[in-house]
Structure 1
Amino acid sequence: MIPPRHGSATNPFRRSSHMEEGGGHGAGDRISSLPDDILFSILLRIGSTRAAARTSVLSRRWRHVWARLPELRLGTCDVPPGATLLDSIDAALDACSAPAVQRLEVAMYCHGLRVHARRVAPWLRFASQRRVGDLYIEVPSQMKFFLSTPKPNKEELELPVCDGATRIILSLERQWRLRLSRVGSFTSLTDLHISCATMEGSELGALVSEQCPRLRNLYLFVRLAAASNVSIRSNSLDSLSFDVENTEKLEVIAPKLEVLTVCDATKADISAPKLAEISWDGDTGYDPLCHRFANAGRHLRLLDLGSKCVVASLMHRFDKVNVLKLNLNLCNFKGTEAYTNFLNETIALPKCEKLKLRVSLRDYDHSFASSMFHLLRNCNSTRKVSIKVDSGHLTGYRYPCPLSCYCRWPESCKADGITLESIEEAKITFIRHSYGQAQFVEELARCHAPGLKKLVINCVLWSDGSTNELQDKVGRMFDPDVIVKCNVI
């Protein structure tokens, strides 16, 4: 037997031979001698309150340390689903002896687990009473239970005032009615995310406008119980993401608002003089007669337009955009008339330094090459272009447009006469390969682009061969001074 080297360290978690069973403070157990702040640090790194509670078997000193943790992470499906999981969450909250809880996370990723709103209500009351700083609650979808019940009972859930909370994230059930307290304020709240719930428009407006004086970031993905207006007035709001079903009119007065995301607002009046980023999507589109921006400037950092509609009038509202994102679903332009409208509405693009195009393409869509060259002809000041193409499930058989459609004209798919004076970098990503996309790259090489310095193509192999062979093939199409990089995905 080799004796231990002089001065060598022993295992700090090794139990002394003369220590009484179960451990004890001062009995030679180095775990038990650790100060509370170090024990808390160790247990918090485990990432699960239930797992932290299991460590109580290591030492009698550890038995109730987990109950005093300043952070609680509950709800993982490491126990049998059903009432056992919900009961374990309730038991952990009952056992908690921490005077203040910095974070409460209840995230249940168990598909098929039935959760009633009345089971969630005590968790919210706990957060209010213990002045939880960071609150995160997510319940699994209950839709299948509502569908299987002829007349499901309407469930209500009240969000009590949490004056100690700085961030609240709630992902609930769309059929639940989330009621908001009219008394008190969320005095410390800066971030509020509510998704998958039903709310009253008046309560929602009062919450943001009257009860959250420090709110900076607001994310709403909910539905209103009845069609109504929503008014948001905030002197502190920096960013707003608004996707609220049944909204008749959205009113926003926010002097500090810089980032705005809107989906499906029938009418909107936005007063935001510092507005710098806009993302607009939805079936209703943008109508300058119904959607108005008051006090907004003519220059944006970002303009992101969704795939459900072309919002040319919104593009024309701004003279310059640092980054312009267009999400085009070519199957939305059914027939020659709709496609011609798309062409007419995108003749004049705002000046942009970077243009990002995301294209959804199917067998029966209009010509990809024709659509892209139409947009590139209008990129007079663009330095960087990025095109990402999702070709879906191409079968190789196309249902072509009538011969009268512009995308069928031979000259529309050619690069003849296209000058890209300002473009310096181009990046093209093909999720799936088609002949039209290969043809587009070949024609792109024929454009007059004297400033082009770099081209990156991410794609599947167009034919049998190596990545180097593909890069050589594409490289030969372009000027030798252009750095060509091909990546196979």
Structure 2
Amino acid sequence: MELQGETERGEGDFVGMGRFAAVGTSRVIPPRHGSATNPFRRSSHMEEGGGHGAGDRISSLPDDILFSILLRIGSTRAAARTSVLSRRWRHVWARLPELRLGTCDVPPGATLLDSIDAALDACSAPAVQRLEVAMYCHGLRVHARRVAPWLRFASQRRVGDLYIEVPSKMKFFLSTPKPKKEELELPVCDGATRITLSLERQWRLRLSRVGSFTSLTDLHISCATMEGSELGALVSEQCPRLRNLYVFVRLAAASNVSIRSNSLDSLSFDVENTEKLEVIAPKLEVLTVCDATMADISAPKLAEISWDGDTGYDPLCHRFANAGRHLRLLDLGSKCVVASLMHRFDKVNVLKLNLNLCNFKGTEAYTNFLNETIALPKCEKLKLRVSLRDYDHSFASSMFHLLRNCNSTRKVSIKVDSGHLTVISMLLQMCPFIDGLVQGNFSPF
């Protein structure tokens, strides 16, 4: 790296950034003093803060304002590069309360990981409000041992908002060799209010049984392997203020998961190898469940349910104790309409049905669908998302059947994945209360 003028001191004196600033950085030669293209350049007299009149006024600003400026850059690595502008800026970036690392603007591999480690080593902030390490590099393999120091840093610096995402074979459908099983420990982060971990499916995420996440309100864990007992203990015993929980993981061995929380408001549960899910949460209002073989839910304030996966609702296997008969939202996946949860509730403000007509192959499947949807709960708004493909022969009859059974419905929205203009036109003419009808690629309602 070659720098001219006041900044030409070499990497050793380069704000102490070391590998972090130098990694992947091309040859940088800022304009010399007085260049109109570089308003930050100044005389050495001005750089020491002794100048007057028109000069560098940014560097004389208080640290909190400089922090605000650098945080708006959006990348800690980019913020560190501002060190070439002035001695005043050389250590400012290292005291930033937020660190955003890992973007693939440098060659992937060990170089990127080394730059992340260097940035954390150089950080001198006593407390960090947010640590974000997000790597979206396809094909980059990250080992658990490289992530462990980042978690320890978050624990020691009392990071408030922790976000770590590593490339996963599962997420990118990579044809790389199957990753080896590795272990990663999540230390107690008593200063964290929000933790988001998107890891590698083969990693065994270990949870410390000592200490508590006393401030944690939001926890998101995806693409990892866990122990059912550890997951239950974490939520039930170590997170007294947890309000929102999202888990998309697999259990190391088939087992039950028990969640007992007096603070939980929202739960999204998609955990492979769960034999039975038990939830006791007096404040729980929003529940999302995927493929629950058995479930026992005690949530008297439950107001929204999303049920998806290959396992449909079965009153013999799935029990909602203390739940009322009125919901704000009921959202059912395409394979859960038949033998569904609709009969459990009398009234739903918004009913969302995902219909995949490919599932209605044969007379028996279609007849079951008709029988199960005769008695729909009363709903003010019905939202249908229909996948047709080559099975459009049952589209019209399915739609008319559902609409006939929605006497209390005021608005209907329909989304289809391909154009069937004749049937769509007929629906609009016969059903003026249809609020909207969208064709093409699906988007969330």
Q: What TM-score, normalized by structure 2, do the two folds share?
A: 0.83
| Contact 1:163–1:187 under 8 Å retained in 2 | yes
SS of the residue 1:300 aligns to: strand
Q: Please say if 1:483 is aligned against 2:442.
A: no
Write out per-residue CA displacement over residues 297-319 of structure 1, whole angstroms, 9 at most, x where no aligned residue.
00000000001232444111100
Cα distance change, pair 393–43 in 1 and its aligned pair in 2 (3 A): farther
Write out per-residue CA displacement over residues 154-194 of structure 1, whole angstroms, 9 at most, x where no aligned residue.
20000000000000000001110000000000000000000
Cα distance change, pair 366–483 in 1 and its aligned pair in 2 (3 A): closer
Cα distance change, pair 309–22 in 1 and its aligned pair in 2 (3 A): same
Cα distance change, pair 79–25 in 1 and its aligned pair in 2 (3 A): farther
**Structure 2 residues without counterparts, runs of 5 or longer:** 1-27, 429-434
| Contact 1:288–1:313 under 8 Å retained in 2 | no
SS of the residue 1:367 aligns to: helix
> How far apart, in 2, do the equivalents of 1:355 and 1:191 lie?
31
> How far apart, in 2, do the equivalents of 1:238 and 1:112 lie?
37
Q: Please say if 1:169 is aligned against 2:123.
A: no
> How far apart, in 1, do the equivalents of 2:401 and 2:353 lie?
13
Cα distance change, pair 125–33 in 1 and its aligned pair in 2 (3 A): same
Cα distance change, pair 49–485 in 1 and its aligned pair in 2 (3 A): closer
Cα distance change, pair 146–17 in 1 and its aligned pair in 2 (3 A): closer
1:50 paired residue number? 77
| RMSD (CA atoms) | 5.2
> How far apart, in 2, do the equivalents of 1:486 and 1:207 lie?
43
| Contact 1:22–1:57 under 8 Å retained in 2 | no
| Contact 2:245–2:268 under 8 Å retained in 1 | yes
| Contact 2:33–2:42 under 8 Å retained in 1 | no
Map residues 261-340 of structure 1 onto 2, 5 A cutoff.
Answer: 261-340=288-367
Write out per-residue CA displacement over residues 405-449 of structure 1, whole angstroms, 9 at most, x where no aligned residue.
xxxxxxxxxxxxxxxxxxxxxxxxxxxxxxxxxxxxxxxxxxxxx
TM-aligned CA deviation for residue 378 of structure 1: 0.2
Cα distance change, pair 4–256 in 1 and its aligned pair in 2 (3 A): closer
> How far apart, in 2, do the equivalents of 1:4 and 1:458 lie?
65
Q: Please say if 1:227 is aligned against 2:181.
A: no
> How far apart, in 2, do the equivalents of 1:97 and 1:44 lie?
16
SS of the residue 2:45 aligns to: coil
| Contact 1:199–1:222 under 8 Å retained in 2 | yes
| Contact 1:22–1:58 under 8 Å retained in 2 | no
SS of the residue 1:41 aligns to: helix
> How far apart, in 2, do the equivalents of 1:225 and 1:483 lie?
44
Cα distance change, pair 71–149 in 1 and its aligned pair in 2 (3 A): closer
SS of the residue 1:122 aligns to: helix
TM-aligned CA deviation for residue 362 of structure 1: 1.4
| Contact 1:270–1:294 under 8 Å retained in 2 | yes
Write out per-residue CA displacement over residues 439-478 of structure 1, whole angstroms, 9 at most, x where no aligned residue.
xxxxxxxxxxxxxxxxx989999xxxxxxxxxxxxxxxxx
| Contact 1:22–1:60 under 8 Å retained in 2 | no
> How far apart, in 2, do the equivalents of 1:369 and 1:145 lie?
37
TM-aligned CA deviation for residue 28 of structure 1: 5.5
> How far apart, in 2, do the equivalents of 1:166 and 1:24 lie?
44
> How far apart, in 1, do the equivalents of 2:166 and 2:366 lie?
43
Write out per-residue CA displacement over residues 381-422 of structure 1, whole angstroms, 9 at most, x where no aligned residue.
000000101139999xxxxxxxxxxxxxxxxxxxxxxxxxxx
> How far apart, in 2, do the equivalents of 1:194 and 1:339 lie?
38
Write out per-residue CA displacement over residues 196-235 of structure 1, whole angstroms, 9 at most, x where no aligned residue.
0000000000000000000000001000001100000000
TM-aligned CA deviation for residue 102 of structure 1: 0.1
Cα distance change, pair 175–9 in 1 and its aligned pair in 2 (3 A): closer
Identity %: 97
Cα distance change, pair 312–56 in 1 and its aligned pair in 2 (3 A): same
> How far apart, in 1, do the equivalents of 2:31 and 2:268 lie?
63
Map residues 328-367 of structure 1 onto 2, 5 A cutoff.
Answer: 328-367=355-394
Aligned length: 409
SS of the residue 2:320 aligns to: strand
| Contact 1:156–1:178 under 8 Å retained in 2 | yes
TM-aligned CA deviation for residue 31 of structure 1: 2.7
- Which of 362, 368, 371 is residue 398 of structure 2 equivalent to? 371
SS of the residue 1:105 aligns to: strand
Higher mean alpha-carbon deviation, 361-370 vs 52-61, is at: 361-370
1:238 paired residue number? 265
Write out per-residue CA displacement over residues 348-398 of structure 1, whole angstroms, 9 at most, x where no aligned residue.
100000000000001135421111000011011000000101139999xxx
TM-aligned CA deviation for residue 34 of structure 1: 1.2
Cα distance change, pair 150–131 in 1 and its aligned pair in 2 (3 A): closer
SS of the residue 1:57 aligns to: helix
Cα distance change, pair 363–131 in 1 and its aligned pair in 2 (3 A): same
SS of the residue 1:165 aligns to: coil
| Contact 1:257–1:275 under 8 Å retained in 2 | yes
| Contact 1:273–1:297 under 8 Å retained in 2 | yes
TM-aligned CA deviation for residue 141 of structure 1: 1.2
Would you identify which runs of 4 or more consecutive aligned residues in structure 1 move more than 3 Å? 1-14, 16-29, 142-153, 392-395, 456-461, 481-487
> How far apart, in 2, do the equivalents of 1:2 and 1:57 lie?
10
| Contact 2:97–2:129 under 8 Å retained in 1 | yes
Greater Cα radius of gyration, structure 1 or 2:
1
| Contact 2:99–2:130 under 8 Å retained in 1 | yes
| Contact 1:330–1:366 under 8 Å retained in 2 | no
- Which of 420, 426, 430 is residue 459 of structure 1 equivalent to? 426
> How far apart, in 2, do the equivalents of 1:362 and 1:210 lie?
48
| Contact 2:138–2:172 under 8 Å retained in 1 | no
TM-aligned CA deviation for residue 335 of structure 1: 0.5
Cα distance change, pair 195–26 in 1 and its aligned pair in 2 (3 A): farther
TM-aligned CA deviation for residue 13 of structure 1: 4.1
Cα distance change, pair 119–217 in 1 and its aligned pair in 2 (3 A): same
TM-aligned CA deviation for residue 114 of structure 1: 1.3
| Contact 2:338–2:369 under 8 Å retained in 1 | no
